Structure 1
Amino acid sequence: MSRQSVAANRPSHAAGLKPANSAAAAAKFLEKKKEFDAVSALQRASALYLQRIEGLADDCATMADAGQIHGQVLEQWPRMFQILNLFLTSGEATPDDTGEATVPGQRLVRIPIEELQEASEEPKTSG
């Protein structure tokens, strides 16, 4: 007995898509394209957000380092005041190199401002 082929009864998809199927596929394609564009925009926004957060982390690290240095400086102040107090209470009025009597602690450092100003006002010669 011979059997008849069932392949002849199948509709062919190679002949072309029906207009209803084509419109549905185009709509689905547009939907997927919008979804892809949204995900791409989210990825770009996330990258920018990551850059900002990394910048904030760098700023926080800088501030932490500055805080440590600030703490180290503040740690030295009590010792400095102790030294200044010892200097102020260490003696009577003593004459300085100009012959004037000064109270200890009245002048800690002499900066020759006049000499510095004269040196900076002198014209510089090029040889």
Structure 2
Amino acid sequence: MHRQSTAFSAAGRASHLPSSASTAAALAKLAEKKKEFDAVSALERASSSYLERIQQVADDCEVMADAGQIHGEVLAQWPIMFEILGQFLSSAQQLQDDGAETDVDSVGQRLVRVPIEDLQKATERT
């Protein structure tokens, strides 16, 4: 009769029965996968938060760009304003040189001011 060795029979039995080692390995792998999932979830949340902050910065940059454009448009009007003021001063100087009885302040009031006192008197009369 032929007899099998004890080492072979012990190894054969261990592979057929559910061992605590394979269960422990499966639980360790499950715990590792759960850690990976939690890490990916945390990364996704952090990425979403970062995206929101970047979008807010982009919105702020658009507001600043619009404000810069408006400032540029206002600054472009200054040369025209200086030209108008120069024409006013030269016309006022010509009036004085011609000996006209009007002074520079009254001409300036007609050019750039609304005479509120006259308007108030006119509304009081009506």
Which structure shows the bigger proportion of residues in helix conformation?
2
Q: CA deviation at 1:69?
A: 1.6
Amino acid at match of 1:65: D
Compare 39-48 and 106-115 and name the one that shifted more: 106-115
Equivalence map 1:1-127=2 (5 Å) = 11-12=15-16, 17-91=18-92, 92=95, 102-104=103-105, 106-107=108-109, 108-110=112-114, 112=116, 115=120
Could you list the runs of 5+ residues in structure 2 that have no partner in the other structure? 1-11, 121-126
Q: What does the per-residue CA deviation read over 1:63-82, in whole Å, with 9 as the maximum and x for residues that have no partner?
A: 11221121111011011111
RMSD of aligned Cα (Å): 2.7
Change (3 A) 1:111 1:49: farther
TM-score (structure 1 length as normaliser): 0.65
TM-score (structure 2 length as normaliser): 0.65
Q: What does the per-residue CA deviation read over 1:35-80, in whole Å, with 9 as the maximum and x for residues that have no partner?
A: 1101100001101111111111111112112211211110110111
Q: What does the per-residue CA deviation read over 1:3-46, in whole Å, with 9 as the maximum and x for residues that have no partner?
A: xxxxxx7944xx6x311111121111111101110110000110
Bigger radius of gyration among the two: 2
Count of matched residue positions in the alignment of Structure 1 and Structure 2: 100
Q: CA deviation at 1:103?
A: 1.4
Structure with bigger RCO (C-alpha 8 Å, 6+ apart): 1
Amino acid at match of 1:109: R
CA distance in 2 between counterparts of 1:62 and 1:40 reads 33
